[in-house]
Each structure stands twice: as structure tokens, then as C-alpha cells.
Structure 1
Amino acid sequence: MTNLFSIFDPTTSMMNMPLNWISSIMAMMMLPNTYWMFNNRYKMLWNMPMKMLNNEFKILLNIKNNKGTTLIFMSTFMLIMINNLMGLFPYIFTSTSHLTMTLSMALPMWLAFMLFGWLKNTESMFMHLVPTGTPTVLMPFMVCIETISNIIRPGTLSVRLAANMIAGHLILTLLGNTTMSVSMDILPVMISIQMMLLILETAVAIIQGYVFAVLSTLYASETN
């Protein structure tokens, strides 16, 4: 490790294969075969939060009959959360800390929402460019501001997720390197701080997946 940011380097390879990206599907490999074969406790445990998310996303999308509309957002949440949690284990590359991963999720969804909105609901999309109650003098400026805010949405989604993952992992790495050189008197305090930070990072891993999915749902609801 030549610098702190080398833990976010995805180019580690063996036999010309980028093995670091395998972490994105590592959790799927760890699931027992019975998970895919029939109903079991794993599925029952996972279905509980998924049903809650499904109900919440239906409210955000303002749809009465769910015909699979929320599946993409639930799948996005599951993918991000699993990758974030897997990145907390030692020697596992956190793929969601890299813009290649986060932008690959945010940009296609945003493009799909924009194409659907401008082709199917053109008038509604124009209405979103001018908020209700805007003075006539400010309308041209509001159109420019809203247009820019719409264009930068995939960037803000991807950068927010990557930056949060990088920041938390950097703090844990810095404390881990410092702990090796402290005296035995301070060692229990450092270990306690690291444990609390690890709990915080676990919460951040779940929250960031939830934030990404909710913001994507809100962006989709504007086009409907």
C-alpha cells in the first residue's frame, strides 16, 4: 500500500482478471443452495424489509396497483446495501466506493426516466421546470436552474454514495494504522472507538442504499 487511497484501487488482478470486482457478486455466492430452491427462513427474513420498502415506494410513486414498478428500486437498494456491507470485511474491495459502479447505476436510470418523461409526459416535464408561484420575472432563471439540477442528478447520486463509502473507510483505515503504534494504556480506548465507528459504518451502509433507492424513486415519480 503506497497510500491510503490504494484500498479503493480496483485494478488488483490475477491471471489478467480484475478480481476486486468479484466482491460485487460475492454475497450471492455465499447464499446456500436452499435459498434458490424453495421457501425458507432466509427468504422469509429478507421479505419482511422488502415488503416495507415496496409499500413505501408505491406511496412515493403514487401508484395503486403494483405491477412490478418498484422491483427495480428494491433491487437497487439490495445491491448497494450488500456491496456496502461486504466492503466492511477485511481484504474485500468496496465496489460502491468507485464511481465506475455508482455512475453505472445512476446514469442509466436517470436517462430512462428522462426519456420516458419527455416522450410520454412532455407537458408535465415542462411544468416541473417552473415551480408553482414563481414570479414572471424569475421564470427564465428558474428554468435554467431546474434544468441544471436535473442534469447533475446522476452525478450527485453517484458521488454521494461513493464519497460516503470512501470517507468512512478512510477513517477506519487511519485509526487502524494508528492503533498499531499506541501504548497499551490507550489501546482499549482506540479499540472501543473503532468498534463504535464500525457500527456507525454498518448503519451508513444500509442508509446509503436506502437514500439512493428513495431518491431514484422520487426522480421517477416526477416523470409520471
Structure 2
Amino acid sequence: MMTNLFSIFDPSTNLFLLPFNWLSTFIGILFIPYSFWLIPNRYFIIWNLIINKLHLEFKNLLGSNKFYGSTFIFISLFSFVLFNNFLGLFPYIFTSTSHLTISLSISLSLWLSFMLYGWINNSQHMFIHMIPQGTHANSSPFMVIIETFSKIIPTWNFSNSFSCSKKMASNRGLYPFENFMGNSGANKPNYPLNLKSTSSYSLSESAVALIQSSLLVISSTLYSSESN
């Protein structure tokens, strides 16, 4: 039994002799429903509605210069991050998206690929996009330099904030709360209040997990639309 509060941040921590910290990366695939029957079940229908809604939303964000099938890349990324975030709500599971290696690899590779594609294929559009409307001609070169640094710096800040916020909100926030509620619930017979508090907190953390995955995918979609 783990008695240290910060042992959850140790990647070698096991639950039921299974390394769920790293297995959680691939366990999310099991959440995707499969259609084995002619009449789909409710879970499959709900999943199709979510996928179609995301497809229409990303299609509008990408605009007319999109490639066929490009929306499915962002839908897959959204599903991957969302499932990992939801698994991080369970105790003793520190998901892979909470590590800087995974979050930095995802955000930096996406940002770098979009920027390189834009600079190689649409150089003039990228330069024009860096200069705000109404800028004086003499200050245009300085604006390009400033905007270039402003595109580089948020990449590292976004990766760090994504990793740190996930650690603080999902893992470090939920486990002490459940520990406190478990200890106080054994001494105080106020179980309805404890149940309501735990349910409301779990619901808010689920909303945080959904918002984080949405922000990551929407930011990637906007970067992709700017490079085309």
C-alpha cells in the first residue's frame, strides 16, 4: 500500500502489479466502440454523433484549403488525449500525457510540421500573416522578427502548461481529495454530503480533461489553417 502522497508521480508505481501509468496510453483504444451487429448500440450511436460533430467543427476551422482526411488526424489526437485525461482521474494512475516527454513531443512536432510546411510552400502568405494591418513600412521587418519569436516561445509555454496543469488538476488534485473524503467519511456519518462533494468534484475534473484536449486540438487546427 502506498503511503506517500507523491508516489503517484513515480512512473514505476504499480496498481495490482500492473504498470497502469504507461499502459494507460493504449488502454484508451479499448474505449472505442466496435460495430459487430447490424443495429448499433447506444454507445456506438453516441460515439458517431461526437465524431461527426468534431468533423464538422474541424472542417470549418480548417477552411477551404484543407486536405481530404485531415480532420481525422485531429479527431484521433482529440480521442487520444481525452482518453488519457479521463484515465488520469482514477487514483494511482499517472497518465503519459502528464509527462513532458509526451506533451512536448506532440505539441512541438505538430507546431514544427505546420510551420515548416507554411514557410516552404506558402512563404509569402506566412510573411504577410506576421505583419498586422496598418503597420508602417519601416517597422515591418521588426514586426516579422517579433512575431517569429512570439510563435516560438508559446510552444514551450504551451507544453509546460499542458503538462503541469494536467499534473496539478487531474492527478495531484483528485487523489488528496479522495484521501481526505475517505478518512473523514469513516469518522463522520455524513455520507450523502460526501457523495455529493465527490461527485461534483469528479464532474469538474472531467470537464477539465475535456477542455484540455479540446484546447490542444483547436490550437493545432488553427496553426494548420494559418500555414495553408
Give the TM-score band, short-chain normalised: 0.7 to 0.9
Q: Which amino acid aligns with 2:77?
A: T
Q: 2:35, 2:44 within 8 Å by CA — same for their partners in 1?
A: no
Corresponding residue for residue 207 of structure 1: 211
Whole-angstrom distance in 1 between the partners of 2:202 and 2:94: 16
Question: Which structure 1 residue ranges, 4+ long, deviate > 6 Å from structure 2?
Answer: none
State the 1:19 CA deviation. Answer: 5.6
State the 1:162 CA deviation. Answer: 1.8
Query: What's the secondary structure of 2:70's corresponding residue?
Result: coil
Corresponding residue for residue 175 of structure 1: 177
Whole-angstrom distance in 2 between the partners of 1:96 and 1:117: 27
**Residue segments in structure 1 that go unaligned for 5+ positions in a row:** none
Whole-angstrom distance in 1 between the partners of 2:26 and 2:222: 27
Q: 1:23, 1:83 within 8 Å by CA — same for their partners in 2?
A: yes
Whole-angstrom distance in 2 between the partners of 1:153 and 1:70: 24
Q: Flag the 1:172–1:19 CA change in 2: closer, same or farther, 3 A.
A: closer
- The one-character-per-residue Cα deviations of 1:18-63 (angstroms, maximum 9, x if unpaired) are 662111111324667xx17577334432121111111111111112
Pairing 1:223–2:224 present: no
Deviates most, 214-223 or 96-105: 96-105
Corresponding residue for residue 77 of structure 2: 76
Aligned residues: CA RMSD: 2.9
Corresponding residue for residue 7 of structure 1: 8
State the 1:220 CA deviation. Answer: 0.7
Corresponding residue for residue 60 of structure 1: 61
Q: 2:114, 2:223 within 8 Å by CA — same for their partners in 1?
A: yes
State the 1:70 CA deviation. Answer: 1.0
Q: Which amino acid aligns with 1:223?
A: S
State the 1:198 CA deviation. Answer: 0.8
Q: 2:62, 2:222 within 8 Å by CA — same for their partners in 1?
A: yes
Whole-angstrom distance in 1 between the partners of 2:71 and 2:61: 10
Whole-angstrom distance in 1 between the partners of 2:195 and 2:137: 59
State the 1:121 CA deviation. Answer: 0.2
Corresponding residue for residue 159 of structure 1: 160
Q: 1:8, 1:94 within 8 Å by CA — same for their partners in 2?
A: no
Q: Which amino acid aligns with 2:22?
A: W
Q: Which amino acid aligns with 1:54?
A: H
Whole-angstrom distance in 2 between the partners of 1:85 and 1:189: 24
Q: Which amino acid aligns with 2:64?
A: I
Whole-angstrom distance in 2 between the partners of 1:196 and 1:106: 31
Q: Which amino acid aligns with 2:144?
A: V
Deviates most, 2-11 or 56-65: 2-11
Whole-angstrom distance in 2 between the partners of 1:109 and 1:65: 16
Provide the TM-score with structure 1 as the length reference: 0.83
Q: 2:85, 2:95 within 8 Å by CA — same for their partners in 1?
A: yes
Q: Flag the 1:144–1:31 CA change in 2: closer, same or farther, 3 A.
A: closer
Where in structure 2 are the equivalents of 1:15-94 lying within 5 Å? 20-29=21-30, 35=34, 40-41=40-41, 42-63=43-64, 67-94=68-95
Q: 2:28, 2:80 within 8 Å by CA — same for their partners in 1?
A: no
Provide the TM-score with structure 2 as the length reference: 0.82
Q: 2:131, 2:140 within 8 Å by CA — same for their partners in 1?
A: yes
